[in-house]
């Protein structure tokens, strides 16, 4: 509503100004508008307030204008890595993961050498006609052992956990034993995976 101005006349008591009732009605209207505006001001966002961006966000600033918060390039890159990172061993017990494993990329032939395994070739080569694979899981769904059968050897791998994270793999053919270790940073992210070490 626009301000209601009280007409006070050209000179005192000249009879040209607003009547008393009209003048007070205008005063009441002006006060009513001021009280409504004051109530809105008490609950309004103040431009002096700032929106701060935490780690992984960009944007922010004062509330004198509209602000947009976005993921930083580093945060987006981290999410992309997370999509392809090693998953917790427990998820491999689910049917959905089993379906994915059935359609995963396989070696070009079953006689390919397992990359990174420094054991004898007789252990690292799977025979196309006799190759087999089986797994066991604990009550929590974490993988405990895998048994891989090759043409002339069987490899049993035992999985070790610390604080719910996979930390060791111990593989044996009954004669020799190899160990691989995994380490994590303070945030629990996978940091290193060692080569297989013959014991």
Residue 116 has phi, psi (to 5 degrees) of 85, -10
What pLDDT, in 10s, does the model give residues 112-165?
A: 444 444 433 333 334 455 567 778 888 777 888 888 887 778 889 999 999 888
Q: CA separation (Å) from 127 to 109, 121, 146, 161, 176?
A: 9, 12, 17, 31, 20
Where are the alpha helices (H) located in the chain, listed in sequence order? Answer: 20-43, 73-84, 95-102, 121-124
Query: Of residues 156 and 100, which shows the higher confidence score?
Result: 156
pTM score, two decimals? 0.37
Confidence of residue 46 (pLDDT cuts 50, 70, 90): low
* Extents of the domains making up the chain: 1-44, 45-85, 86-198
Half-sphere exposure of 27 (CA within 13 A, CB side): 9
Report d(CA 87, CA 189) in Å as an integer.
11
Report d(CA 118, CA 149) in Å as an integer.
17
């Amino acid at each position: 509503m626009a301000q209601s101005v009280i007409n006070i006349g050209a000179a005192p008591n000249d009879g040209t100004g607003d009547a008393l009732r009209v003048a007070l009605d205008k005063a009441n209207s002006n006060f009513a508008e001021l009280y409504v505006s004051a109530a809105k001001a008490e609950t309004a966002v103040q431009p002096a307030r700032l929106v701060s961006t935490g780690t992984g966000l960009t944007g922010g600033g004062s509330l004198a204008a509209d602000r947009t918060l976005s993921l930083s390039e580093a945060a987006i890159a981290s999410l992309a890595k997370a999509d392809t990172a090693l998953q917790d061993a427990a998820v491999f017990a689910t049917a959905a993961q089993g379906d994915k494993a059935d359609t995963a990329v396989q070696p070009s032939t079953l006689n390919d050498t397992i990359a990174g395994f420094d054991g004898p070739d007789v252990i690292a080569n799977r025979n196309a006609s006799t190759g087999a694979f089986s797994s066991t899981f604990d009550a929590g769904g974490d993988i405990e052992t895998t048994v891989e059968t090759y043409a002339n050897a069987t490899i049993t791998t035992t999985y070790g956990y610390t604080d719910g994270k996979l930390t060791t793999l111990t593989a044996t053919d009954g004669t020799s034993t190899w160990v691989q270790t995994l380490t994590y940073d303070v945030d629990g992210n996978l940091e290193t995976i060692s080569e297989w070490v013959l014991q």
